[in-house]
């Protein structure tokens, strides 16, 4: 085999490898990135008042309000919830993977930081709701509609 043939082979192999693996390796990232940028097309729009508010009120608010301010997080209203804690913001609109309000719900039950810390964890559907809501910009109305009050956890 001449040196030129070998060179040609290695170049075409390299090209083949790139052109064949590129779609497979970049596709999932592209999906993820568009999700993080809040440009998801496959999931429907999350409504704060009917979907997020009841979830926070029944599962988080009991420990995260003005009177019981655990972890420096107050979810009573928009102005408090968006106030950063000592280690940074709890909610980063458009970036659920940087939002502790979402990422801490993913931690396993054994972790001391897993939220909620009770045995009744969030369902996959509820976590997806939080993810999508933040990815879509974390819309949280001001005024009475965006004011939260503790309601009992339906699962007790
Ligand atoms: C039974 C009480 C309780 C409930 C219910 C609860 N938390 Fe917490 N949360 C805590 C405590 C205690 C801490 C402080 C943990 C620490 O400092 O290690 C905390 C801290 C946090 C933090 C801040 C973590 C940090 O280190 O900055 C976030 C975010 C959080 N909780 C989110 C939630 C969310 C979202 C829910 C509802 C799905 C929830 N929590 C429900 C008790 C609770």
Q: How many H-runs (helices) and E-runs (strands) does the chain carry?
A: 5, 0
Q: Could you give the angle at which helices 124-135 and 3-36 cross, rounded to 10 degrees?
A: 100
Other beta carbons within 10 Å of 54:
13
List, for residues 23-74, the tens digit of each pLDDT value: 333 333 333 434 444 444 557 899 999 999 999 999 999 999 999 999 999 9
pLDDT of residue 44: 87
Domain ranges of the chain: 1-36, 48-146
3-state secondary structure at position 148: coil
Question: Which ligand 1 atom is the nearest neighbour of the CA of 118?
Answer: 1
pLDDT of residue 135: 98
In the reported structure, the alpha carbon of residue 112 is separated from the centroid of ligand 1 by a whole-number distance in angstroms of 10
Q: How many whole angstroms separate alpha carbon 75 and alpha carbon 64?
A: 6
Residue nearest to atom 37 of ligand 1 (CA): 60
The closest of 142, 129, 127, 125 to 47, measured between CA atoms, is 129
List, for residues 67-110, the tens digit of each pLDDT value: 999 999 999 999 999 999 999 999 999 999 999 999 999 999 88
Q: How many whole angstroms separate alpha carbon 25 and alpha carbon 31?
A: 11
Q: How many whole angstroms separate alpha carbon 62 and alpha carbon 58?
A: 8
pLDDT of residue 40: 46
Question: Which ligand 1 atom is the nearest neighbour of the CA of 112?
Answer: 18
Q: How many whole angstroms separate alpha carbon 90 and alpha carbon 99?
A: 5
> Both tokens of residue 79?
């102005």
pLDDT of residue 155: 84
Q: Is the CB of 115 under 6 A from ligand 1?
A: yes
Q: Is the CB of 89 under 6 A from ligand 1?
A: no
Which of 67, 70, 85, 107 to mutate for ligand 1's pocket (most ligand atoms within 8 Å of CB)? Answer: 70
In the reported structure, the alpha carbon of residue 116 is separated from the centroid of ligand 1 by a whole-number distance in angstroms of 6
pLDDT of residue 25: 33
């Amino acid at each position: 085999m001449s040196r030129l043939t070998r060179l040609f082979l290695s170049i075409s192999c390299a090209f083949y490898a790139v052109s064949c693996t590129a779609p497979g390796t970049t596709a999932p990232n592209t999906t993820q990135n568009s999700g993080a940028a809040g440009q998801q097309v496959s999931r429907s729009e999350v409504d704060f008042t009917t979907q997020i508010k009841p979830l926070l009120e029944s599962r988080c608010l009991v420990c995260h309000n003005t009177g019981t301010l655990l972890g420096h997080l107050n979810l009573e209203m928009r102005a408090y919830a968006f106030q950063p804690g000592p280690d940074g913001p709890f909610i980063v609109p458009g970036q659920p993977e940087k939002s502790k309000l979402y990422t801490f719900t993913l931690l396993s039950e054994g972790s001391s930081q897993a939220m909620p810390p009770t045995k009744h964890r969030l369902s996959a559907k509820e976590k997806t709701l939080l993810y999508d809501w933040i990815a879509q910009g974390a819309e949280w109305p001001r005024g009475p509609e965006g004011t939260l009050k503790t309601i009992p956890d339906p699962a007790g």
